[in-house]
Amino acid sequence: GLVKCDLTDSKAVHETLSEFKPDIIIHCAAERRPDVVEKHTDAAQALNEGATSTLVKEAELLGAWIVYISTDYVFDGTAPPYETDAQPNPLNTYGKLKLLGEQNVDRGGKSGCFAHSCVVWAEFELGREPSHCQCHSFIR
Protein backbone atom coordinates (compact mmCIF):
# COMPACT_ATOMS: atom_id res chain seq x y z
CA GLY A 1 0.00 0.00 0.00
CA LEU A 2 0.80 3.64 -0.06
CA VAL A 3 2.89 5.01 2.81
CA LYS A 4 2.94 8.75 3.46
CA CYS A 5 6.24 10.39 4.29
CA ASP A 6 7.05 14.08 4.73
CA LEU A 7 10.04 14.44 2.42
CA THR A 8 11.07 17.65 4.18
CA ASP A 9 11.57 15.66 7.41
CA SER A 10 14.97 13.98 7.00
CA LYS A 11 14.40 11.69 10.01
CA ALA A 12 11.08 10.44 8.59
CA VAL A 13 12.70 9.89 5.19
CA HIS A 14 15.53 7.91 6.78
CA GLU A 15 13.15 5.74 8.81
CA THR A 16 10.83 5.08 5.86
CA LEU A 17 13.58 4.21 3.40
CA SER A 18 15.44 2.12 5.98
CA GLU A 19 12.29 0.07 6.45
CA PHE A 20 11.61 -0.42 2.72
CA LYS A 21 15.23 -0.68 1.52
CA PRO A 22 14.47 0.19 -2.12
CA ASP A 23 16.86 -0.52 -4.98
CA ILE A 24 15.53 2.48 -6.91
CA ILE A 25 14.03 5.74 -5.68
CA ILE A 26 12.01 7.72 -8.23
CA HIS A 27 11.79 11.26 -6.90
CA CYS A 28 9.01 13.19 -8.60
CA ALA A 29 7.71 15.21 -5.63
CA ALA A 30 7.99 18.96 -6.05
CA GLU A 31 6.20 22.24 -5.72
CA ARG A 32 5.78 22.57 -9.47
CA ARG A 33 3.72 25.73 -9.73
CA PRO A 34 6.09 28.64 -10.40
CA ASP A 35 3.68 31.22 -8.94
CA VAL A 36 3.42 29.26 -5.68
CA VAL A 37 7.20 28.83 -5.57
CA GLU A 38 7.60 32.62 -5.81
CA LYS A 39 5.09 33.20 -2.98
CA HIS A 40 6.32 30.39 -0.70
CA THR A 41 10.00 30.17 -1.54
CA ASP A 42 11.16 28.64 1.76
CA ALA A 43 8.64 25.79 1.61
CA ALA A 44 9.40 25.21 -2.07
CA GLN A 45 13.13 25.14 -1.39
CA ALA A 46 12.63 22.63 1.43
CA LEU A 47 10.84 20.29 -0.98
CA ASN A 48 12.46 20.96 -4.36
CA GLU A 49 16.05 21.18 -3.17
CA GLY A 50 16.25 20.08 0.47
CA ALA A 51 14.25 16.88 0.09
CA THR A 52 16.27 16.00 -2.98
CA SER A 53 19.49 16.36 -1.00
CA THR A 54 18.07 14.10 1.71
CA LEU A 55 16.94 11.47 -0.80
CA VAL A 56 20.34 11.47 -2.53
CA LYS A 57 22.09 10.90 0.81
CA GLU A 58 19.69 8.11 1.74
CA ALA A 59 20.11 6.48 -1.69
CA GLU A 60 23.88 6.46 -1.15
CA LEU A 61 23.47 4.84 2.29
CA LEU A 62 21.20 2.15 0.84
CA GLY A 63 23.20 1.63 -2.34
CA ALA A 64 20.04 2.59 -4.23
CA TRP A 65 19.76 4.37 -7.57
CA ILE A 66 17.85 7.68 -7.55
CA VAL A 67 15.94 9.02 -10.53
CA TYR A 68 15.09 12.71 -10.12
CA ILE A 69 12.32 14.14 -12.27
CA SER A 70 13.36 17.69 -13.12
CA THR A 71 11.99 20.22 -15.59
CA ASP A 72 12.79 22.15 -18.73
CA TYR A 73 12.46 25.28 -16.55
CA VAL A 74 16.17 24.84 -15.77
CA PHE A 75 16.72 26.24 -19.29
CA ASP A 76 15.92 29.71 -20.59
CA GLY A 77 13.83 28.57 -23.54
CA THR A 78 16.08 30.07 -26.21
CA ALA A 79 17.35 26.89 -27.91
CA PRO A 80 15.07 23.86 -27.52
CA PRO A 81 15.14 20.93 -27.80
CA TYR A 82 17.94 20.59 -25.27
CA GLU A 83 20.70 18.01 -25.51
CA THR A 84 22.02 16.27 -22.42
CA ASP A 85 25.04 18.58 -22.30
CA ALA A 86 23.04 21.83 -22.66
CA GLN A 87 23.94 24.53 -20.16
CA PRO A 88 21.10 25.36 -17.78
CA ASN A 89 20.02 28.97 -17.36
CA PRO A 90 16.86 29.10 -15.22
CA LEU A 91 14.85 32.30 -15.39
CA ASN A 92 12.72 31.89 -12.26
CA THR A 93 12.95 30.54 -8.72
CA TYR A 94 11.26 27.27 -9.64
CA GLY A 95 13.88 26.55 -12.31
CA LYS A 96 16.70 27.58 -9.97
CA LEU A 97 15.48 25.25 -7.21
CA LYS A 98 15.07 22.33 -9.62
CA LEU A 99 18.60 22.98 -10.88
CA LEU A 100 19.85 22.82 -7.29
CA GLY A 101 18.10 19.45 -7.04
CA GLU A 102 19.91 18.26 -10.17
CA GLN A 103 23.21 19.41 -8.71
CA ASN A 104 22.49 17.37 -5.57
CA VAL A 105 21.97 14.30 -7.74
CA ASP A 106 25.21 15.05 -9.62
CA ARG A 107 27.13 15.32 -6.33
CA GLY A 108 25.74 11.93 -5.36
CA GLY A 109 28.20 10.26 -7.72
CA LYS A 110 27.17 7.41 -9.97
CA SER A 111 24.08 6.50 -7.98
CA GLY A 112 21.55 8.59 -9.84
CA CYS A 113 20.28 10.49 -12.83
CA PHE A 114 17.74 13.15 -13.65
CA ALA A 115 15.29 13.66 -16.47
CA HIS A 116 13.88 16.92 -17.82
CA SER A 117 10.16 16.96 -18.41
CA CYS A 118 8.07 19.76 -19.80
CA VAL A 119 4.76 18.36 -18.48
CA VAL A 120 4.06 15.75 -15.84
CA TRP A 121 0.49 14.45 -15.87
CA ALA A 122 -1.17 13.78 -12.56
CA GLU A 123 -4.49 14.02 -10.78
CA PHE A 124 -5.38 17.58 -9.89
CA GLU A 125 -8.12 19.74 -8.51
CA LEU A 126 -10.10 21.33 -11.36
CA GLY A 127 -9.86 25.10 -11.36
CA ARG A 128 -6.71 25.19 -9.26
CA GLU A 129 -4.15 23.93 -11.77
CA PRO A 130 -2.62 25.40 -14.93
CA SER A 131 -4.75 25.40 -18.05
CA HIS A 132 -2.71 22.64 -19.75
CA CYS A 133 -3.69 20.27 -16.92
CA GLN A 134 -7.32 21.29 -17.11
CA CYS A 135 -7.27 20.85 -20.88
CA HIS A 136 -5.94 17.30 -20.41
CA SER A 137 -8.94 16.34 -18.29
CA PHE A 138 -11.34 17.38 -21.04
CA ILE A 139 -9.36 15.65 -23.79
CA ARG A 140 -9.42 12.25 -22.04
Catalytic residue (choose from 68, 73, 82, 94): 94
State which amino acid sits at residue 64.
A
Pairing assessment for the beta strands 65-71 and 112-117 based on DSSP bridges: parallel
Q: Is 94 part of the annotated catalytic residue set? A: yes
Strands (E), the chain: 24-27, 65-71, 112-117
12-108-53 Cα angle (round to 5): 35
The residues carrying an active-site annotation are 94
